[in-house]
């Protein structure tokens, strides 16, 4: 998106003018704990910024994943025109965040022009690989033990193309050993009249039916409307994920938000109005999925310039009709203006992600914010949002209370427990500024911080294919509440994470966990104690606890202890 040609923003200003001002001194106080987020990037060893000309006004993502077996997530951070950087996680359990920059042994040219990254095991070898989204050729880096990576496009028969790629998602289709890969592309820079009305087609790569991962077949998802995020999502719990794409209306003509039907063995096609899909045009930047009310069906937060959309499946829709209603205003989740000033200009939202930052059992919503690049009709100082979920189903802004209200230009982000203390930390990639790394210190109080609610972290595994159970549903029941999480690759803004699934439990001391595996089979229920890291293997007789190593423990942590399986569950 260029800083010029912002006439479209004028109509948006008029539309938002009637909404109330939300200066931080007038914001309502959230009930429950507010997490104290302490910025520690420099102290933790992270010195990196996302930079570059207009191709890099978008993107700016990161991927977190464990690649050395200690179950502490490493970081790969895009750099735009600067080389991307990789950091080993040297944090200790419950201690200070520490990262060590490590060379990947790749050519500098391959690490430049990177907009984002996602981790997944493509070739079923139990090692996470990396997909790099780039201006130019996209790359697949094949993972090896101890965080080794090698360029593997030829190995996978993958043509990375020459597009401007800004989005990615992956799923395992029924009967496939290897994942289906979707790439979202932005403006076709080489088309006549670019950038106006020249959105590039998106790409779908289905693996060939061979013993090795072969991605020589490419299907164009046409039309493309300048995608900035995409996510394979089982929106109606049918067992067959569809591909949701959020698009930037700044450049398309006649476009809209999209949901593609991706049935096994059939060409992908977009859902039509006659099937219930409603026309929606926004400056789509990021997608977050979360089951906010525990009914089993996901809601979606779509960031944009101006108000965020929060979509819920219509109660009047049939099971095969993707008809959504926007509940953002009713739930207090529009996040349409900066909350830290009286600036009436609209915000610019990028990465969005649902997570339970205060472990109270309610999903919160993080939104990375930042002006595109000196766009005068939008807020110049636009701090990130932390919308805390409330028990009445609404959200209340707490970014200023938590301490994340910095004057940065956020883009992508990772919400992750980097030091295995059961509290979610936050990395934000900023344009032309150093990344910000917020350590979650616990509940904010006058004298500092105190412990928050209980938590559970669940790691899934199954025999190949799809060893990390992408597409599985983790259902946690604690007391009268049920919390659902889905294992996914994609969404956000050019950023993703692989590893433990985090669930806040509030005051509950025990929980029951069930897993709906990607093929639709449910696991037996497991009763586990709170404040534990739980490993659930599909073929194991019982779940296990994993205990993070202490600060002075130098051994590689092993899987210790069995959680006990419920014998009376049905």
The string of pLDDT tens digits covering residues 342-395 is 888 999 999 999 999 999 999 999 999 999 999 999 999 999 999 999 999 999
Q: Tell me whether residue 8 is in a domain.
A: no
- How far apart are the C-alpha atoms of 309 and 260, rounded to whole Å? 19
pLDDT at residue 6 tops 70: no
Q: Tell me whether residue 564 is in a domain.
A: no
Mean pLDDT score of the chain: 93
Domain endpoint, select from 427, 450, 473: 450
14: three-class secondary structure by DSSP: helix
Residue-level pLDDT at 391: 97
Residue-level pLDDT at 558: 39
CA–CA distance from 279 to each of 252, 272, 430 (Å)? 14, 9, 32
- Interval 250-297: pLDDT, tens: 999 999 999 999 999 999 999 999 999 999 999 999 999 999 999 999
pLDDT at residue 19 tops 50: no
Same domain, 109 and 177: yes
Q: Residue 554: which pLDDT band, with cuts at 50, 70 and 90?
A: very low
428: three-class secondary structure by DSSP: strand
- Measured in degrees and rounded to the nearest 5, phi and psi for residue 41 equal -55, -55
C-beta of residue 77 within 8 angstroms of C-beta of residue 412: no
Strand 425-430 relative to strand 436-445, pairing = antiparallel
- How far apart are the C-alpha atoms of 233 and 299, rounded to whole Å? 11
Q: Residue 26: which pLDDT band, with cuts at 50, 70 and 90?
A: confident
Q: Tell me whether residue 408 is in a domain.
A: yes
Q: Which residues neighbour 35 within 8 Å (Cβ) at sequence distance 6 or greater? A: 357, 358, 386, 402, 423, 424, 440, 441, 442, 443, 444, 452
Residue-level pLDDT at 569: 33
Q: Tell me whether residue 555 is in a domain.
A: no
Same domain, 463 and 427: no
- How far apart are the C-alpha atoms of 308 and 229, rounded to whole Å? 14
Q: What is the pTM of this model?
A: 0.94
Q: Residue 193: which pLDDT band, with cuts at 50, 70 and 90?
A: confident
| Burial track 289-304 (b if 16+ CB lie within 10 A, e otherwise) | bbbbeeeebbbbbbbb
Same domain, 481 and 370: no
Residue-level pLDDT at 242: 99
CA nearest to 473, candidates 300, 180, 239, 288: 239
- How far apart are the C-alpha atoms of 243 and 220, rounded to whole Å? 14
What would the mean pLDDT of 12-28 be, rounded to a whole number? 52
- Domain containing residue 373: 37-450
Same domain, 245 and 367: yes
C-beta of residue 431 within 8 angstroms of C-beta of residue 367: no
pLDDT at residue 564 tops 70: no
Same domain, 378 and 498: no
Residue-level pLDDT at 568: 33
* Total count of domains within the chain: 2
What would the mean pLDDT of 200-214 be, rounded to a whole number? 96
- How far apart are the C-alpha atoms of 502 and 417, rounded to whole Å? 8
pLDDT at residue 11 tops 70: no
Q: Tell me whether residue 332 is in a domain.
A: yes
- How far apart are the C-alpha atoms of 284 and 293, rounded to whole Å? 24
Same domain, 506 and 364: no
DSSP for 43-73 reads HHT---BBB-SGGGSS---EEEE--SSSS--
Residue-level pLDDT at 550: 73
Residue-level pLDDT at 25: 57
- How far apart are the C-alpha atoms of 94 and 92, rounded to whole Å? 6
Q: Tell me whether residue 558 is in a domain.
A: no
Domain endpoint, select from 419, 450, 481: 450
> What order of strands is seen across the sheet that includes strand 258-261?
218-221, 202-205, 180-185, 165-171, 489-490, 227-233, 242-247, 258-261, 269-270
Same domain, 381 and 472: no
State percent of the chain over pLDDT 70.
Answer: 92
Q: Tell me whether residue 13 is in a domain.
A: no
Q: Tell me whether residue 12 is in a domain.
A: no
pLDDT at residue 530 tops 70: yes
77: three-class secondary structure by DSSP: strand
Same domain, 360 and 499: no
- How far apart are the C-alpha atoms of 297 and 289, rounded to whole Å? 10
Same domain, 369 and 483: no
What would the mean pLDDT of 104-109 be, rounded to a whole number? 97
533: three-class secondary structure by DSSP: strand
Same domain, 281 and 232: yes
Domain endpoint, select from 423, 450, 477: 450
Same domain, 492 and 369: no
State the CATH number of the domain containing residue 222: 2.130.10.10
- How far apart are the C-alpha atoms of 122 and 176, rounded to whole Å? 12
- How far apart are the C-alpha atoms of 344 and 176, rounded to whole Å? 51
State the CATH number of the domain containing residue 477: 2.60.40.1110
pLDDT at residue 411 tops 60: yes
Same domain, 43 and 115: yes
Residue-level pLDDT at 18: 41
- How far apart are the C-alpha atoms of 14 and 7, rounded to whole Å? 12
What would the mean pLDDT of 134-141 be, rounded to a whole number? 99
């Amino acid at each position: 998106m260029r800083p010029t040609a912002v006439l479209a923003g004028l109509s948006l200003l008029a539309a938002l003018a009637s909404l109330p001002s939300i200066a931080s001194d007038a914001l309502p106080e959230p009930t429950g704990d507010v997490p104290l987020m302490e910025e520690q990037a420099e102290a933790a060893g992270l010195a990196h910024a996302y930079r570059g000309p207009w191709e890099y006004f978008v993107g700016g993502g990161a991927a977190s994943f464990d690649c050395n077996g200690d179950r502490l997530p490493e970081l790969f951070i895009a750099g735009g025109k600067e080389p991307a950087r990789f950091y080993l996680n040297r944090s200790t359990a419950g201690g200070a965040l520490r990262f060590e920059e490590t060379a990947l042994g790749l050519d500098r040219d391959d690490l430049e022009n990177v907009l984002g990254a996602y981790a997944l095991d493509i070739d079923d070898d139990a090692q996470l690989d990396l997909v790099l989204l780039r201006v130019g050729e996209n790359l697949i880096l094949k993972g090896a033990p101890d965080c080794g990576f090698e360029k593997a496009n030829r190995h996978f028969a993958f043509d990375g193309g020459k597009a401007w790629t800004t989005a990615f998602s992956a799923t395992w289709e029924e009967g496939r050993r290897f994942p289906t890969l979707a790439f979202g592309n932005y403006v076709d820079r080489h088309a006549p009249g670019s950038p106006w009305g020249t959105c590039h087609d998106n790409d779908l790569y289905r693996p060939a039916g061979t013993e090795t991962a072969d991605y020589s077949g490419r299907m164009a998802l046409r039309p493309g409307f300048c995608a900035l995020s995409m996510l394979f999502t089982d929106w109606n719990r049918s067992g067959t994920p569809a591909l949701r794409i959020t698009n930037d209306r700044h450049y398309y003509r006649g476009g809209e938000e999209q949901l593609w039907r991706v049935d096994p063995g059939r060409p992908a096609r977009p859902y039509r109005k006659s099937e219930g899909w409603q026309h929606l045009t926004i400056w789509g930047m990021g997608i977050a999925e979360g089951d906010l009310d525990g009914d089993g069906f996901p809601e979606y937060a779509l960031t944009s310039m101006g108000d965020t959309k929060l979509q819920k499946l219509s109660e009047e829709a049939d099971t095969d009709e993707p008809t959504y209603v926007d509940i953002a205003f009713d739930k207090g989740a529009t996040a349409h203006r900066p909350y830290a000033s009286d600036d009436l200009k609209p915000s610019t939202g990028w990465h969005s992600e649902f997570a339970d930052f205060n472990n109270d059992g309610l999903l919160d919503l993080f939104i990375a914010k930042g002006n595109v690049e000196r766009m005068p009709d939008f807020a110049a100082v636009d701090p990130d949002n932390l919308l805390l979920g409330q028990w009445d189903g609404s959200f209340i802004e707490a970014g200023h209370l938590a301490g994340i209200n910095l004057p940065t230009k956020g883009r992508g982000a990772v919400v992750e427990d980097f030091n295995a203390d059961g509290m979610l930390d936050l990395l934000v990639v900023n344009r032309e500024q150093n990344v910000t790394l917020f350590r979650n210190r616990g509940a904010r109080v006058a004298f500092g911080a105190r412990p928050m609610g209980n938590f559970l972290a669940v790691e899934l595994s199954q025999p190949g294919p799809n060893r990390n159970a992408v597409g599985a549903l983790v259902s946690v029941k604690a007391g009268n509440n049920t919390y659902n999480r889905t294992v996914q690759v994609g969404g956000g803004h050019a950023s993703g994470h692989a590893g433990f699934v985090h669930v806040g439990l509030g005051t509950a001391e025990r929980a029951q966990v069930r897993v709906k595996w990607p093929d639709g089979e449910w696991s037996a229920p497991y009763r586990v104690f709170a404040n534990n890291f739980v490993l659930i293997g599909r073929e194991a007789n019982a779940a296990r606890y994993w205990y993070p190593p202490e600060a002075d423990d130098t051994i590689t942590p092993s899987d210790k202890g069995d959680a006990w399986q419920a014998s009376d569950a049905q």
